[in-house]
Amino acid sequence: MTDHLKAAEPSRPAGTPSGRAGLSPRKKQRISRAVQYVVLAALVVFLALRVEWGPLGQNFAKGEVAGEMFPDLFTVALKNTIIYSVGGFVFAFLLGLVFALMRMSSVRPYRWIAVAYIEIFRGLPALLIFLLILFLPLALPGFEVPGGTYGQGILGLTVVGAAYMAETLRAGLQAVPKGQMEAARSLGMSHARAMVSIVIPQAVRIVIPPTTNQFVALLKDSSLVLFLGVSGEYVELTKFGNDMASTYANATPILVVGITYLLVTIPLGYLASRLERRQAKGR
């Protein structure tokens, strides 16, 4: 059929509407679309029939097990996840800002230090950092991370987050037009004063949308606190879910914890894209 169409095409004078013989591109597209819908529907029906819903529901959505998770799910696990993530985010932002400024400094050793830090900690798996922190007291006898378990978790997230934040903030600082610094200097401000009053506030506004995404990434990375061997009142969502799942030999807690993460991350994602759009308008 296609052969026939192809053969017929060139002989037809340009501009003449095609006859009834061949299918128009629009019709072909419609048929192809219909075939795809049919295949998709068949797949869904097939899966629905194949899956044994009873055992699946028993394992992933068991009401009693889910009930056991409250209220600790929110009052302990989610609360701790937020403490780790917000704490890590705040320190990562501050440390990232320091590295971003060092990276742009005219003092060469500052640039070296900043580049080394960024390259190292951006290139290492976050899990590895957490394992290192776990061994820190062995390496430095007598040393203890301030803040105990919270401190360790926040430190891990800070170390990882700062490397990414430094790069984001550097991009933001460089996106502020050069004229802003010149105008500030021409008004008699020192370089430092101009940075603090004029350049950094604008850079922070520029990086709000990517930073929101970074917070989401950090929130997910807070699950790695699991590997610090936390327990009791310090557990965060993933650890909490994992423990409950072991206790009841049932996967329901994992599903519930997953939904809890989404309750936070999806609204944050929307917030990020809204901020981004607002900023695009403001320019």
Partner 1 sequence: MSGVEHAVEIRDLHKSFGELEVLKGIDFSVEPGQVVCVIGPSGSGKSTLLRCVNLLEQPTSGRVVLEGIELTDPDVDLDAARRRVGMVFQQFNLFPHMTVLENVMIAQRRVLKRGKAEADRVARENLEKVGIAEKCDAYPAQLSGGQQQRVAIARALAMNPALMLFDEPTSALDPELVGDVLAVMRKLAEEGMTMLVVTHEMAFARDVADRVVFMDGGVIVEDGPAAQVIGDPQQERTKAFLRRVLDPTHTDV
Give me the least distance between CB of 253 and partner 1, in Å please.
Answer: 46
Can you tell me which of 105, 186, 247, 273 binds partner 1, judged by CB under 8 A? 186
Token pair for residue 226?
A: 């699991």
The whole-angstrom separation of Cα 29 and Cα 20 is 17
Residue 95 sits at the vertex; the CA angle it makes with 92 and 100, to the nearest 5 degrees, is 110
The whole-angstrom separation of Cα 218 and Cα 158 is 9
Judged by CB, which is closer to partner 1: 205, or 220?
Answer: 205
Can you tell me which of 4, 33, 193, 278 binds partner 1, judged by CB under 8 A? 193
* Stretch of residues binding partner 1 (CB under 8 A), selected from 20-28, 172-180, 214-222, 241-249: 172-180
Site string for partner 1, 131-170 (x = CB under 8 A): ----------------------------------------
Q: Are 273 and 82 in contact (CB under 8 A)?
A: no
Token pair for residue 49?
A: 């029939």
Q: Are 199 and 73 in contact (CB under 8 A)?
A: no
The whole-angstrom separation of Cα 185 and Cα 190 is 6
* Stretch of residues binding partner 1 (CB under 8 A), selected from 70-78, 144-152, 160-168, 177-185: 177-185
* Stretch of residues binding partner 1 (CB under 8 A), selected from 43-51, 54-62, 166-174, 196-204: 196-204
How far is C-alpha 7 from the chain's CA centre?
53
Judged by CB, which is closer to partner 1: 36, or 190?
Answer: 190
Judged by CB, which is closer to partner 1: 187, or 268?
Answer: 187
Q: Which of residues 199-258 bind partner 1 (CB under 8 A)?
A: 201-202, 205
Burial label for 123, CB within 10 Å (0-12, 13-18, 19+), is: exposed
Can you tell me which of 9, 119, 144, 182 binds partner 1, judged by CB under 8 A? 182
Judged by CB, which is closer to partner 1: 119, or 182?
Answer: 182
- Longest CA pairwise span in the chain (Å): 89
Q: Are 245 and 199 in contact (CB under 8 A)?
A: no
Query: Residues in the site for partner 1, rule: CB under 8 A?
Result: 177, 179-180, 182-190, 193, 197-198, 201-202, 205, 282
